[in-house]
Amino acid sequence: MRGFLAAYAVLLSLATGLAVAGGIILFDETGPSDRIEAAADRHAYDVLGWEIRHLPGKWLYKLGHLFDSRSDAEANETLRRYFALLDEIQVASRDAAQSGRLEALEAERASLENTAEDILEGRATAVLKDQGLAVRPPLFSNLGLLFPPVDFELDSPPRVLAVSPRERIELDRSYLLAPGLDRDTVDDIERQAEAPEDSAERSVSALVVPTGGVATYPSVVSQFASYESLVTGILHEWVHQYLVLFPLGRSYFASHEVRTLNETVADLAGRELARVFFERYPSPVAAPPAEPPAFDFTAEMRALRKRVEELLTAGRVEQAEALMERKRDEFEAEGVYIRRLNQAYFAFHGFYADSPGSIDPIGPKLQKLLESAGSPGRFLQLAAGITSAAELDRLLADEAG
């Protein structure tokens, strides 16, 4: 038993190390040192510093509350109050006359944060175990330990500087940036990244992209996310951590194809696991009434992506960029705001092959695998072993046969 627990602790340390290393690789090894890296370096996200600040505190809290117990009703009330406070804080922050109330609201939110995190971690753990994703080693199969343990921190997630060549859509580089950058700083980073270096014409397209979270350990999930988005984000980032133990996760930086597979698996599995979560734990937070979409954004965006690809392939770069700018204005008129729509936008979002900005066939294929698997847990177990689209095709054939 001690040997197994020691091995479990070693694996946990390894997962933490890989999460840190992944963030460092994402920044330090995606291209040579030049103006683009210099622009990102001034506003880099300190992955290692974040880990040092947050990982010990999370586990000290868990140890200090090891024997705490709370009813479902108490847990639901904590979550209801926590998310109500987020709404009240946003309202108060827009009114200078409410500065005193804002301070009190933020203090109350901070006092509930660790408890809210602990409740959601426990509930996510129960769902993941039900999906057959617990570790069951020989002689200790009754332990049912989940690895890595679900662990997240509500915080401001980093941004990403995405860079693509202008003449094609391809994520050439990406850098983690600090959260909280203002609009002028973001614009300046993009201008510096796109500035011509050896020729009179700029050769790259750059975009600073917000993220909903990142799979450090603990993972970072946006503190301002809605309840539904938060749960989905927690499970999405946990899937990334889980995949580190398998070929799909260990090969993340091997190629664009593997990264697309990894991100799309995390997207699909995260959403399906969240669906199961909400079936087991109905939301204690009142959801705003759903409004039917005014237009089909997914269809419009995919049609745009195809047309942009055609124009770039024909060497008509300026026409493609003018089209994207025009469509950005049209989307905004329909109530969908995209700050900047360019090659880097499609390159970054293209790694999520189930997203509106992607036309990659990997998305529909993984969706088919999810449907044939019968559960998100089995889908994740099947997908974790693949590292190429060809292997995905063979897996689909095996499942069909």
Structure tokens at 8: 């479990």
Residue 62 three-state SS: helix
CA gap 389, 164 in Å, rounded: 22
pLDDT at site 138: 53
Q: What is the pLDDT of residue 142?
A: 60
Which pLDDT score is estimated for 27?
43
The pLDDT of residue 191:
94
Q: How much is the pLDDT for 94? A: 87
Q: What count of residues does the chain have?
A: 401
Query: Residue 293: what pLDDT?
Result: 65
278-316 core/surface letters (b: 16 or more CB in 10 A; e: else): eeebebbbeeeeeeeeeeeeeebbbebbeebeebbeeee
- How does pLDDT run along the chain (401 residues), one tens digit per residue? 444 334 444 445 445 554 544 544 444 444 446 788 888 998 999 888 888 877 776 666 666 666 667 899 999 999 999 999 998 998 888 888 888 899 999 999 999 999 999 999 999 999 999 999 997 655 445 667 898 999 999 999 999 999 999 999 999 999 999 998 999 999 999 999 998 866 666 789 999 999 999 998 889 999 989 999 999 999 999 999 999 999 999 999 899 999 999 999 999 999 999 999 999 999 888 766 666 666 789 999 999 999 999 999 999 999 999 999 999 999 999 999 999 999 999 999 988 877 888 888 999 999 999 999 999 999 999 999 999 999 999 999 998 87
Q: Provide the pLDDT for residue 9.
A: 43
Check residue 31 and give its pLDDT: 42
The pLDDT of residue 61: 63
CA dihedral 46→50→52→57, nearest 10 degrees, is 170
Q: Which residues pair with 222 in a beta bridge?
A: 155
Phi, psi of 232 (to 5 degrees): -60, -40
pLDDT of residue 385: 96
Position 139 scores a pLDDT of 47
pLDDT at residue number 32: 43
Q: pLDDT for 224-233, tens place per residue? A: 899 999 999 9
Entry pTM: 0.87
Selection from 217, 294, 276 nearest residue 23 by Cα: 217
